[in-house]
Amino acid sequence: MNAAEPAIRVKGLAKRFGAKTVVDDFAIEVPRGIIMGFLGPNGSGKTTTIRMLCGLLTPDAGEGACLGFDIRTQAGEIKKRVGYMTQRFGLYEDLSIRQNLDFIGRMYDVRPLKARVDEILEQFGLTERRDQLAGALSGGWKQRLALAACVLHRPELLLLDEPTAGVDPNARREFWEMIHELAAAGVTILVSTHYMDEAERCHRIAYLAWGKLLLVGSVDDVVARSGLTTWEVTGADLADLQHKLKGRPGIDMVAAFGTALHVTGTDPAEIEAGIAPFRADPRYTWAPAPASLEDVFIHTLARAGRNGDRP
């Protein structure tokens, strides 16, 4: 594959299960060697979309290529070059770490197998634990082993489906460091996640809802293009204030963020007019704030619902 070509280029992808359209008219280009994050509510079509992009699921409509191969007619070639890690641990818990990697290596006909397994054990810090049963590992070490198994056959593309769900923050950080090392080595990575901090670790993100692509780009671009104006307010009785602010002209969204409220709209003058009656209340402190990625996602989802994009 030409390094200048996108790892993935598709358009018009659609997938239906019975009468339900899960993905509708999806198009995207994913450059080679980047981490592409897929975000969206449960049931938004993230996993179905990623599987179609990788040739693991045949679309009902649309066309495109993954790693230079047609996603419809050359899915077998794509699968050989893809590593797939599910949210749920999928290796054998009654086998040791090394036995699991040996098994996966034989499945992919990795040669020389012993040398490659030794290399992977070292790369992922698993050498000293190689004889430990997989079922005895903590969640973080299980995910580390699962990622090691994914890259054993040197795939060009990794598909990670909510890989850090239920993993503690330190293990999550270490996991993402490994992902970035793989991307730096030229591996293209597609990852679905619900965590905003993980989205911000991706080079680009795609936000889906109800099977439609609503946003795509780098985090900075997505936030900048949103055109949102946000005010942060702190003080007492914020729950009462939140109730009073909701639905006022110029205010599109009021959301609690820890001990503060984020009040968001798209017109700076209108939102200032909307909050003006409450600015003089000594119980509250108001300050302009940069829109967060979560602000953008919540606002985008609400706007899509208002515009009738929700089925």
- What is the per-residue pLDDT across 175-195, written as a single tens digit (0 to 9) for each? 999 999 999 999 999 999 988
Given a cut of 60, whether residue 20 has pLDDT beyond it is yes
51 compared with 234, residue with greater pLDDT: 234
Mean pLDDT of 12-37: 96
202 and 100 housed in the same domain: yes
DSSP for residue 162 = S
Domain membership flag for residue 3: no
Query: What single letter denotes the amino acid at residue 83?
Result: G
What are 197's two structure tokens?
A: 């901090």
Domain of 81?
A: 8-222
Could you tell me the pLDDT band of residue 307, with boundaries at 50, 70 and 90?
A: low
Q: Is the peptide bond before 112 cis (omega within 30 degrees of 0)?
A: yes
pLDDT at 42 (0 to 100): 86
87 and 186 housed in the same domain: yes
Q: For residue 210, give the nearest of 23, 15, 83 by alpha carbon.
A: 23
Calpha distance 60→73 (Å, rounded): 13
pLDDT at 64 (0 to 100): 95
Percent of the chain with pLDDT over 70: 97
Given a cut of 80, whether residue 306 has pLDDT beyond it is no
List the CATH number of the domain containing 237.
Answer: 3.30.70.920
pLDDT at 303 (0 to 100): 78
Each residue's pLDDT tens digit, 102-133? 999 999 999 999 999 999 999 999 999 999 99
Domain membership flag for residue 199: yes
Kindly report which listed range (54-58, 106-110, 270-274) carries the lowest average pLDDT score: 54-58
Q: How many CB atoms lie within 10 A of CB 150?
A: 21
172 and 262 housed in the same domain: no
Q: For residue 89, give the nearest of 38, 36, 42, 133 by alpha carbon.
A: 133
216 and 231 housed in the same domain: no
Q: How many domains does the chain have?
A: 2
DSSP-derived 3-state class of residue 26 = strand
Given a cut of 70, whether residue 220 has pLDDT beyond it is yes
87 and 235 housed in the same domain: no
pLDDT at 90 (0 to 100): 87
Domain membership flag for residue 139: yes
Query: Which residues contact residue 203 at a Cβ distance below 8 angstroms, ignoring those fewer than 6 apart?
Result: 34, 35, 36, 183, 218
Domain final residue pick, 194, 222, 250: 222
Could you tell me the pLDDT band of residue 54, with boundaries at 50, 70 and 90?
A: confident
71 compared with 305, residue with greater pLDDT: 71
51 and 70 housed in the same domain: yes
Given a cut of 60, whether residue 1 has pLDDT beyond it is no
Calpha distance 264→291 (Å, rounded): 8
pLDDT at 259 (0 to 100): 93
70 and 187 housed in the same domain: yes
146 and 79 housed in the same domain: yes
Q: List strand residue ranges (DSSP E) for the chain, in order.
A: 8-17, 20-30, 35-39, 61-66, 69-70, 82-85, 157-161, 188-192, 204-209, 212-217, 229-235, 253-257, 260-265, 284-289
Given a cut of 90, whether residue 136 has pLDDT beyond it is yes
303 compared with 247, residue with greater pLDDT: 247
Q: How many residues does the chain have?
A: 311
Domain final residue pick, 222, 239, 274: 222
Q: List strand residue ranges (DSSP E) for 229-292, in order.
A: 229-235, 253-257, 260-265, 284-289
What are 183's two structure tokens?
A: 């991307």
Could you tell me the pLDDT band of residue 164, with boundaries at 50, 70 and 90?
A: confident
203 compared with 87, residue with greater pLDDT: 203
